[in-house]
Structure 1
Amino acid sequence: MALITKIREKSGIAAAAIAISLVLFLVGSDIFQGKSSLFGSNSQEVGEIAGESILIQDFQKKVEEATQNYTAQTGKGPSEQEASMIRDQVWNQLILDIAYKKEFDALGIKVSDEELIDMVQGNNIHPSVRQQFTNPQTGQFDKTFVVQFLKNLKTLPVEQQQAWDRFEKSISQDRIRAKYENLMRMSNYVTQADAAKEYQAQTAKFNSKFLFVPFFSIPDSSIKVQDSQLEEYLAKHKDEFKGTNTRSIQYATFPVIPTKQDTVEFYNQIKKLAKDLAVAQNDSAFAVLNSDVRTPYLVSYSEIPEGVKEQLATFQVGGIYGPFKNGLTYSIYKYGGLKKDTLFTMRASHILIAPANKSDSAKAQARTRAEGILAQIKGGASFETLAQMNGMDGTAQQGGDLGYFKNNGGMAKSFEKALFGFNGAGLMPGIVETEFGFHVVKVTDAKTNTSYKLAAINKTIAPSQATMDKVFTTADAFANANGNLASFEVALKKDRNLIMMRAERLTENASAVNNLSNAREIVRWAFDDNTAVGDGSKKVFEQDSQYIVAYVTGKSEKENVKVEDFRIELTALVRNQLKGEMIAKKLENKKGSLEQIAQAYGAGALVETVQDITLASGMLNTAGPDAIALGRIAGLKNGKRSKVFVGDNGVFIAEKLGGAPAPALADYSNFKNQIQMMNTQRSSFYINEAIKENANIVDKRYKFY
């Protein structure tokens, strides 16, 4: 039974959908017959994928099935966030079933019955099957468990048989997609010319002296950009500005802050809980039952809040301490002493450099790259920045942070052995090699097996219902008195204490508005067919501890790109274009050395020199990594001067002073591998984007949820 539960957790769509029974009760079946205006549209279509219309009835049925699976697996209904997640996953599954399947079918890619059997119980076990049937105590996979399970499958309840069917379907789809992506990757070939070009860009060095007049030397206020110029620029560069359906809003926020009376009542509650905690027979259970925010009873030193750490040395076993304040949450603690664990806990960050393949040359290249990164960090470079730039796993965007972990086999054996053999915190001196690649590692919290027994009651101060009602009345009166954007702007001028926020370019399916995490209702209102630019919400939206009154200030459309959609970006580009023309015109026909030309130009002109610059990673001092300038300078002959030209960041006149050409190279394999590895890393993303673009996906879920 435990096994099939695990399979259902993995095979089902791990999310849920909101129940719509109340909606059906209120509006009846008209909602699915095109008669309801509840969602601002009479259409039954929730979207279109690869020319196939998706009706709300069909989509909702799949959502309800996934909801039932979720409830059966977890024993509870979904939260709002989980409901949103399940709708996304049902939609993504439809994209896979329709758009991807057309691509698979066109190429004749499929998984035969024999191949499926081989993945489940044959010689090439699918990783998901291996994971499900691995003994957690021994860490060993036993195929006989799979065979025995399948023999008994027909004796299991129907829902468990269905769970297995879904599981087999999921691994079959995973295999088909892997075949397709591998086919696409194998079709990507790096030529000798590409490798030679990359070698030259990385290796050939040049020296240069150049005159540079940055765009910022001319004040923006002195350049007047006309709408006609913006229109002309957009028309010439329309491929660079893709349209999207967005809304921009302003909103007034009315925070609900606990009153003095609310605070007094809260402190009385905290005092009573502290007294009860002191005499509770099971202090940890009592703390859990009475906390708004639950925290573990056994915690390592690193997990203890800083304010508590400062007083921890004074704690006596059985004593009550606090309250400690963290935002609006107050915590009281009962200290139970120390506990030594058999396992150690630590926290670390890493930068994974994975080889492009299993060949010795690829491994050597990956090791060299990892050692180079380690050397940069030892030289003072930021570990987190280099992790974001180079990391090849999901931790990269978090600066490589792995969080806290124990020496219980949760990490690769060689990784765990190296880290828990390291004493203290800081950068590990050498590279750690695992089956995944080469790791640069920084221990952020040293290993420890000491835990602290802290029964914590965490209570968040909240306003009373009377306080909430009073603020709502104020917000509701404001909404009724200021029904459109014009009156809202007048109100802002009259009341300087009114809190106003902006949210630009909200997308159709956005669930957050700035720091308002569950703002789906506001977004749906903004995209409603009956909501126009300039309209006010008229109703008050409740968001956590505040009330919101919103106004639509702008909109953009996917099929109708306008200057207004990209006014800020376009204005900056056109302004720099005009500055470039002005500067270039002033520099033309000036003679003499670069210093003489700079002096003749006047304020703003700089003459700078750079040494040993490469085309791949050159920095031109004040001008930065100006790609146009780097290319123009690299293309000059030694001792020659360029004409005046406009770069990315300003206007240049450049002289090439020589350099060190790239030595002749007989074998470009390493550079071929570099390019191939980068292409491989990006291929899944590019394939996915290409299929979705080709499918002409129209997503109208925002009208219904």
Structure 2
Amino acid sequence: MALINTIREKSGWAVGAIIIGLLLFMLGGDFLYGRSSIFGKNDLTVGEIAGEKVEYDQFNATLEQAKQAFIQQQQRQPDEQAMGYLRDQAWNQTIFRIAFQQEFDKLGLKVSDEELTDMVQGNNVHPSIRQAFTDPATGQFDRTKVIEYLRNLDKLPPQAQDAFRNFEVNLGPERMAAKYNNLLKLSTYVTSAEAKRFDQGQNTRATVRYLMVPYFALSDSSVKVSDEQLQAYLDKNKGRYKVEDGRTIEYVSIPVTASAEDSATVRKTVDELATQFASAPVDSAFVKLNSDQPTSPAFLSPADMPEKLRAQLPLQVGKVYGPYAENGTYSLYKVSGQKAGAQAAARASHILIKPEGTTPEADAAAKAKATEVLNKIKAGADFAAMARQYGTDGTTATGGDLGWFQQGRMVPEFEKAVFGATSAGLLPAPVKTSFGYHIINITAPKTTQTYQVATVQKSIQPTDATRDAAYQKAQALKGEATSLETFRAAVAKDKSLQKVEAKGLGRGDQAVNNLQGARQLVRWAYGVNPEGEPTQVGDVSEVFEIGDQYVIAVLTGERTKGTADVASVKPEIMALVRNELKAEQIMKKLNASKGTLEQIAQAYGNGAQVKTAEGVVLGQGLIPGLGNEPVAVGKAFGLKPGQKSAPFAGEQGVLIVEPVSVQPAPAATDVKAVRQQLTAQRTARTDGLTYEAIKQHANIKDNRTKFF
């Protein structure tokens, strides 16, 4: 309470209070933490950061702060997925608190009571205070309201008092972090020479001719890559393949799906509801009482109706339609009224013939083609078959069917033709729009008729008996699978089971492939098995219930933090090493030829191509039409016009470059502006780079999987 007491000493009494609960939300408890362990045991630690152990209750205090902020913002309790994100947030905050505090101490950074007071009611008010005590009508910050609030804080509800005390705890560390980051940001400096070089790099351009033989010109089978070569490549490029802890598992999912008997049971219930629905005096009340997804009755045009109900048009008022089964749900529809709607709806199919260009000749050719196809349909050809054969848009797979649509959803020329028709049938001539020429078949002419529809839906859910049967199947598999070998054998024996592999699971992962909410499975892979021993490769898990399925897994691999092993990155580095070997072959063959680029390409044979790229920028690694080729750009600007480089390995193949002309950058007219631009770019990256650098050197040990 040091801050409050200091402020009270400096402030006069006032009356009234303003709710300041939003302050906790805005800060999120980034720095609040506890000191004692609720377990009282030193070995029950969540982790270790920069040599300091993080006790469970310390971490849980920070997590609770994040959780309360989430509840205030979202107005709901966090689900398990959200809790996973909040745990990561709390862990990052803990890293910041411990690792950064050591940096603050090294520099002797402090925050005085005077500074804290100034952040609440002085000349440098904290943004959260300013927002909370700004008059919405005038937009003016009212310092007296802050004083009133603090003078009456003890009289406010406990929640409001806790909110401000948490905010007070946060002020000092936040101010300290701002000082530290500003020290680094203000040390960012760009010289005039750097600015000039940057400006030249962005504005010097060249026209470059190049010969390229892409790596894919040689078949992969023509190059053999040994394990020794892969390991040598990895040893040479260790910095590119740093990894965190990882686990690899194989697992089987046994879904809990409704059986035919379950569906029949729900169908019987829905049939009974259909009879009751027909005589229900108040449709909305019946829907609310009986539907799994109750919605209010609404007037629907044919364009907005479910397809199975639309197939029954015209509908009869008072009649119940269904039940219809779709996507695991039985649906009943009762029509309780009808009226003319504000917008017309129609249904049509079309065949779009697009011009192959923007010239008058291309337009005339498209029109002639559309007329030809239309005449075939008039002569008896099937419209849908013609749409699949000649259509040029996304409706070809459905025979050109556009379904029902309301007026106002299509381009004007198309709508005029469709909604101008008075009956179903093929329109006599192609219709031109900005997309091309349309051959149109009206399958349902325009109508403004709408129907008031009440809907009752019942989900087809598995019964307890079905769920028990799936669980028993999972337990039977667990009984057979006691090791990796027996697990694989048991799965192979049952053709209804499918084994899936998940590689490189991280400690904090919430999902395993498509299994959402699979945190318990990840914890098992990193944690302790049922016998109380650390999970080892070959251990088989217990039966986990994840969503609507039972899952059994076996741990097949472990990866420790550091450099990846060859096996885990083999597909990636295999391609890179293969390209290196291909490059050696291609360069050897290219070096055997002399002359112009065209002569060298002709001597090389198939695969070699010569092209010209204009507007190649010195300060960028791109060659227009080719892509990212930084080495090629560097070599091109290192040669005089007309000089050829030797063959070299690029990103996509082996190249020889030859600059045609170079346009130097004009002299920079505003070096100061360029310096400011570069300084702003570097400063913007400072916070993130600082955090990552300190985190990297904090020797972090993350044991959260023991608890969460």
TM-score normalised to the size of structure 2? 0.69
- Partner of residue 552, structure 1: 555
Q: How does 1:409-448 map to 2 (within 5 A)?
A: none
- Partner of residue 154, structure 2: 154
Correspondence 1:629 to 2:632: yes
- Between Structure 1 and Structure 2, whose CA radius of gyration is higher? 2
* Aligned 8 A contact 1:641 1:654 in 2: yes
The CA distance in 2 between the partners of 1:280 and 1:73, in whole Å, is: 42
Correspondence 1:683 to 2:682: no
Q: By how many angstroms is 1:227 displaced?
A: 1.4
* Aligned 8 A contact 2:24 2:164 in 1: yes
The CA distance in 2 between the partners of 1:519 and 1:576, in whole Å, is: 39
Q: By how many angstroms is 1:642 displaced?
A: 0.6
The CA distance in 1 between the partners of 2:126 and 2:455, in whole Å, is: 44
Q: Can you give the 5+ residue segments of structure 1 that lack an aligned partner in the other structure?
A: 15-23, 35-42, 338-422, 427-451
The CA distance in 1 between the partners of 2:638 and 2:518, in whole Å, is: 53
Correspondence 1:672 to 2:641: no
Q: By how many angstroms is 1:482 displaced?
A: 2.9
The CA distance in 2 between the partners of 1:192 and 1:425, in whole Å, is: 57
The CA distance in 1 between the partners of 2:186 and 2:455, in whole Å, is: 56
Correspondence 1:604 to 2:603: no
Write the deviation string for residues 127-150 of structure 1: whole angstroms up to 9, x where unpaired.
212333456688765433322211
Of 693, 697, 703 in structure 1, the residue corresponding to residue 696 of structure 2 is 693
SS of the equivalent of 2:95 reads: helix
Correspondence 1:506 to 2:505: yes
Q: By how many angstroms is 1:660 displaced?
A: 1.9
The CA distance in 2 between the partners of 1:299 and 1:680, in whole Å, is: 57
SS of the equivalent of 1:212 reads: strand
SS of the equivalent of 1:512 reads: coil
Mean Cα deviation higher: 61-70 or 572-581:
61-70
Q: Quick one: which amino acid aligns to residue 513 of structure 2?
A: N
Distance 1:330 1:635, change over 3 A: farther
Q: By how many angstroms is 1:695 displaced?
A: 1.7
Distance 1:677 1:532, change over 3 A: same
- Partner of residue 186, structure 2: 186
The CA distance in 2 between the partners of 1:93 and 1:603, in whole Å, is: 58
Distance 1:559 1:656, change over 3 A: closer
The CA distance in 1 between the partners of 2:335 and 2:660, in whole Å, is: 72
Q: How does 1:184-263 map to 2 (within 5 A)?
A: 184-263=184-263
- Partner of residue 88, structure 2: 88
Correspondence 1:660 to 2:663: yes
Distance 1:676 1:330, change over 3 A: farther
SS of the equivalent of 1:565 reads: helix
Q: Quick one: which amino acid aligns to residue 486 of structure 2?
A: S
Q: By how many angstroms is 1:522 displaced?
A: 0.7
Distance 1:300 1:571, change over 3 A: farther
The CA distance in 2 between the partners of 1:277 and 1:491, in whole Å, is: 53
The CA distance in 2 between the partners of 1:454 and 1:170, in whole Å, is: 56
Distance 1:315 1:101, change over 3 A: farther
The CA distance in 1 between the partners of 2:491 and 2:221, in whole Å, is: 27
Correspondence 1:535 to 2:528: no
- Partner of residue 521, structure 1: 520
Distance 1:172 1:656, change over 3 A: same
Distance 1:317 1:99, change over 3 A: farther
* Aligned 8 A contact 2:620 2:630 in 1: no
* Aligned 8 A contact 2:621 2:631 in 1: no
Of 643, 646, 670 in structure 2, the residue corresponding to residue 640 of structure 1 is 643
SS of the equivalent of 1:511 reads: coil
Correspondence 1:595 to 2:595: no
SS of the equivalent of 1:536 reads: coil
Mean Cα deviation higher: 322-331 or 464-473:
322-331
SS of the equivalent of 1:516 reads: coil
Q: Quick one: which amino acid aligns to residue 467 of structure 2?
A: M
TM-score normalised to the size of structure 1? 0.70
Q: By how many angstroms is 1:155 displaced?
A: 2.4
Aligned length: 570
Q: Quick one: which amino acid aligns to residue 643 of structure 1?
A: A
SS of the equivalent of 1:3 reads: coil
Mean Cα deviation higher: 196-205 or 616-625:
616-625
* Aligned 8 A contact 1:11 1:166 in 2: no
* Aligned 8 A contact 2:208 2:613 in 1: yes
Q: How does 1:23-62 map to 2 (within 5 A)?
A: 33=41, 43-60=43-60
Mean Cα deviation higher: 94-103 or 240-249:
94-103
Q: How does 1:114-513 map to 2 (within 5 A)?
A: 114-134=114-134, 141-267=141-267, 283=284, 327-328=327-328, 460-491=459-490, 493-513=492-512
Distance 1:67 1:199, change over 3 A: closer
Mean Cα deviation higher: 630-639 or 95-104:
95-104
Write the deviation string for residues 211-258 of structure 1: whole angstroms up to 9, x where unpaired.
111112122232221111122122222122113100122211112211
The CA distance in 2 between the partners of 1:607 and 1:46, in whole Å, is: 60
Q: By how many angstroms is 1:523 displaced?
A: 0.6
* Aligned 8 A contact 1:254 1:471 in 2: yes
Distance 1:68 1:579, change over 3 A: closer
- Partner of residue 3, structure 1: 19
Q: Quick one: which amino acid aligns to residue 531 of structure 1?
A: T
* Aligned 8 A contact 1:277 1:283 in 2: no
Q: CA RMSD in A?
A: 4.4
Write the deviation string for residues 537-566 of structure 1: whole angstroms up to 9, x where unpaired.
2x2211111111212232211146422232
Correspondence 1:571 to 2:574: yes
The CA distance in 1 between the partners of 2:130 and 2:273, in whole Å, is: 49
- Partner of residue 399, structure 2: none
Q: Can you give the 5+ residue segments of structure 2 that lack an aligned partner in the other structure?
A: 1-16, 31-36, 338-407, 412-450, 529-533
Q: By how many angstroms is 1:455 displaced?
A: 8.6
Mean Cα deviation higher: 522-531 or 670-679:
670-679
The CA distance in 2 between the partners of 1:609 and 1:72, in whole Å, is: 60
Mean Cα deviation higher: 475-484 or 71-80:
71-80
Q: Quick one: which amino acid aligns to residue 174 of structure 1?
A: E
Q: What's the % identity of the aligned pairs?
A: 41
- Partner of residue 616, structure 2: 613
Write the deviation string for residues 183-209 of structure 1: whole angstroms up to 9, x where unpaired.
322211222233223322322221122
Distance 1:494 1:158, change over 3 A: closer
Distance 1:308 1:53, change over 3 A: farther
